[in-house]
Each structure stands twice: as C-alpha cells, then as structure tokens.
Amino acid sequence: MREEFSRIFRIRPGDVLALMLFTSSGFADEAPVSEPFKEPFLNNDPLISKLKPEKTDGRGFKLVYSVDAPLDVFWRFKTQFDNQVLLGNKFIASHRLVSRIGNVAITETEYSNKPKAVFKWHTTIFPEQNLLRYVLLNPQECGQKYHYGYVQLEALDTETRVTQIAYFDFFGVSLWVNYPFKGGMSSFLKYTAQWEQQFMSEFADQYKE
C-alpha cells in the first residue's frame, strides 16, 4: 500500500512547504490530530494538528515547535530569503530570491518530490510582530488550487517558539494529510521542523549581530 500510494501521488512535500518557508482572528477552528499524528510537545518534539479548511475544500495544519536560538537570531535566519543553507533540507532542490521590495519578498523554490515545478512564494514581513505571511502565487502551475498561511515567532526564554499555520488544496490532499507513514503530512512536517532545530543548534552563531 505504501509503495502504491507514493507511486500515484509522489507525495507532495513541496505542496505544503512554506519555508519555511509563515495572527489574526478568523482562522478556522483547530482540530487535534488523531493518533498517530499527535506528538507531545516535549524535548522539542513538534506538535502537529489538523485544521478545518477556511474554504469549501482543502485542508490545513498547525505546526508548533521550538528552536534553540533567541528570537532575534532565529528571526534573521527566517528573513534571509536568499539563504542557500536551505538546500541542506532534503526536500529542497533549489531556492532563490527573485526580489525583495520593502517588506515583501518573492522567492522561487523547487522541491525534490515535485520535480520541474517552481513554487513562487509571496511573503510579507511584519517585523514588529515577528510574523511572516505567505501565499503561493502560481498554484495551478504547481498542481494546487490554493496555498497560503503564516509563521509566527515568539520568545520562549532563551529559545524561540515557532507556530506555522497553512491552508491548501490539491489532488489527493485528504489522503496525504491522513497518511500515517513516511511520505505523509506528519512525516514531512516533523522532518522540516527537526531540520531547523538541528541547524540552529549548530549554526545559530552565524545569525548573531
């Protein structure tokens, strides 16, 4: 079953990557995930919840985790949009900054499990709130109907708490969200969060002033 699922859908990690690639009231109600998605928020383990879509169709998630870096340090990492260290993430095949005008950045990212599709992200930066809001500008070219969300950073003593909300829709979205094995949403989000945690534990000094 796992092999057949991957063959048909080639699980789309890029379809939900907001690199990472990003509050306002009015977001849909949260629904705690059922096992085996639920993880305790202990020892920096990511906490993942499924969200009801804001639109008629689609799905969403809430991802919460902490990184071992002060807020100002991690904020510099998240807002360095031409950062080529992102290529160390196994899901990212290429990444480049197209433009940055004021607090708006346009980036293009290719993902390893979605070859030949270039995801063009529009990210608005709110430095006073430590908030990034993003939207996919070319969803149809990437096999999606829509994709948008935000990343909120908060100081957590000497660490930083990261909260990411995303809403999206694409063919096979329900199966991808609920698939409990490697290649499903839970596996992808855990890897993405843990990659950032590991990177910052080793290289946070590079982002200090």
pLDDT digits (tens, 9 = 90+) for 11-47: 444 444 433 333 222 333 333 333 333 333 335 789 9
Round to whole Å and give the CA distance between 41 and 18. Answer: 22
Q: 30, 47 in Cβ contact below 8 A?
A: no
What average pLDDT does the chain have?
Answer: 83
pLDDT digits (tens, 9 = 90+) for 80-120: 999 999 999 999 999 999 999 999 999 999 999 888 899 99
The pLDDT score that the predictor gives to residue 43 is 52
Tokens of 198: 């590991």
Round to whole Å and give the CA distance between 25 and 22. Answer: 16
Buried b / exposed e over 56-89, threshold 16 CB at 10 Å, is eebbbbbbbbbbbbbbebbbbbbbebebeebeeb
Task: Say whether pLDDT at 198 is over 90.
Answer: yes
| Coil vs helix vs strand at 104 | strand
Which amino acid makes up residue 76? R
**Owning domain of residue 80:** 2-207
Crossing angle of the two packed helices 185-203 and 71-78, in degrees rounded to 10: 120
Q: 151, 18 in Cβ contact below 8 A?
A: yes
Number of folded domains that form the chain: 1
What is this structure's pTM?
0.80
| Coil vs helix vs strand at 200 | helix
Classify residue 180 as left (phi > 0), alpha (psi -120 to 50) or beta. alpha
Residue 17's domain is classified under what CATH number?
A: 3.30.530.20
The pLDDT score that the predictor gives to residue 58 is 95
Q: 113, 121 in Cβ contact below 8 A?
A: no
